[in-house]
Amino acid sequence: MFDYTLIHWTTFLTAAVLLNLSPGPDIAFILGQSVKGGRSAGFAAMTGIWSGAFIHVLMAAIGLSAIVATSAAVFSIVKWIGVAYLVWLGIKALRSNGEGLLNENAPTLSSAWKIYKQGVLVAALNPKVAIFFLAFLPQFVVEGAGPVWAQLFLHGSLIIVVAAVIEPPLVIAGSRLAVGLKNSNVGKWLDRGLGTLFIALGVRLALSERS
C-alpha cells in the first residue's frame, strides 16, 4: 500500500511546494494577520487556513468535491457565501480605527481563536480550492498503490504538511514588520490595506468560474 516511485514523490512534492508558494487568499490572509497582529496572530491565521484546507481534503477523499465541481447551483451557493464573508471582513477592517490587534501585547486567546475561525472560513468557503483538490490530487493516484480515497487523503494531507514547512517562516517575517508599527495611525492604514485586500479577493472570487 502506498508504494510509489521516487519520480512520483519528486513530482508531487515539487508541485506541492509551488502550490504553497503561489499567491492567493490563504497566503494573503496569513501575511496580513502576521503584519497586523504579530506572530501569534499569524500562526492563528495559518492553522485556521490549514484546518479549512483539510476540510477540502476530506471532501475530495470521500467525493463531495465532485458535487461542487459538477453542480453550478452548489458552486454558486458556496462561492457567494465566500464572497460575502470576504467582503464582510474587508468592510469590518476598513471601519476599524486601527486599534485591533496592533498593540504592544500579544493577541489574547479569544482574539487568536477568532482569527483561527476566520482562517478556517476563508479556506473552506472557497469552492475553487475544492475543485483544485479534485483536479490535482487524482493525477497522483497510482493503480494498485491503495484505495483511491486513501491515496487522495494521503496526498491532500501532505500538501498541508508542505505548507507547515513553508508558511511558518512567512509568519515570522511578516510579524517582524509589525515590531515598529505600534501607533494607531499605522494601525489604521494596515486595517485599510487589509480591508481593501479582502474586498479585492471577494471580487476576484465573485468573478471566478468553475472551469
Compare 209 and 172 and report the one with higher pLDDT.
Answer: 172
Contacts of 117 (CB under 8 A, 6+ apart): 48
Amino acid identity of residue 199, one-letter, is I
Q: How far apart are CA 116 and CA 40, in angstroms?
A: 10
Compare 115 and 85 and report the one with higher pLDDT.
Answer: 115
pLDDT at 101 (0 to 100): 40
Alpha carbon of 143 to those of 2, 77, 151: distances in Å?
10, 35, 10
pLDDT at 191 (0 to 100): 67
pLDDT in tens, 38-56: 888 899 999 999 999 999 8
Chain-centroid distance of CA 94 in Å reads: 21
Compare 97 and 199 and report the one with higher pLDDT.
Answer: 199
Residue 155 has pLDDT above 80, yes or no: yes
pLDDT in tens, 62-81: 876 666 656 677 667 767 87
Residue 102 has pLDDT above 70, yes or no: no
Task: State whether the Cα torsion 54-7-135-129 is positive or negative.
Answer: positive
Record the cell numbers describing residue 140, joined without a space.
497522483
User: Hey, where are the domains in the chain?
Assistant: 6-206
Predicted confidence band of residue 188 (pLDDT cuts 50, 70, 90): low
pLDDT in tens, 103-154: 444 456 668 899 999 999 988 887 767 777 777 787 788 888 888 888 889 9
The DSSP result for 1-65, as a single string, is: -----HHHHHHHHHHHHHHHHS-SHHHHHHHHHHHHH-HHHHHHHHHHHHHHHHHHHHHHHHTHH
Contacts of 14 (CB under 8 A, 6+ apart): none
Q: How far apart are CA 160 and CA 88, in angstroms?
A: 27
Contacts of 28 (CB under 8 A, 6+ apart): 197, 201
Predicted confidence band of residue 192 (pLDDT cuts 50, 70, 90): confident
The stretch 7-20 carries a mean pLDDT of 87
pLDDT at 201 (0 to 100): 67
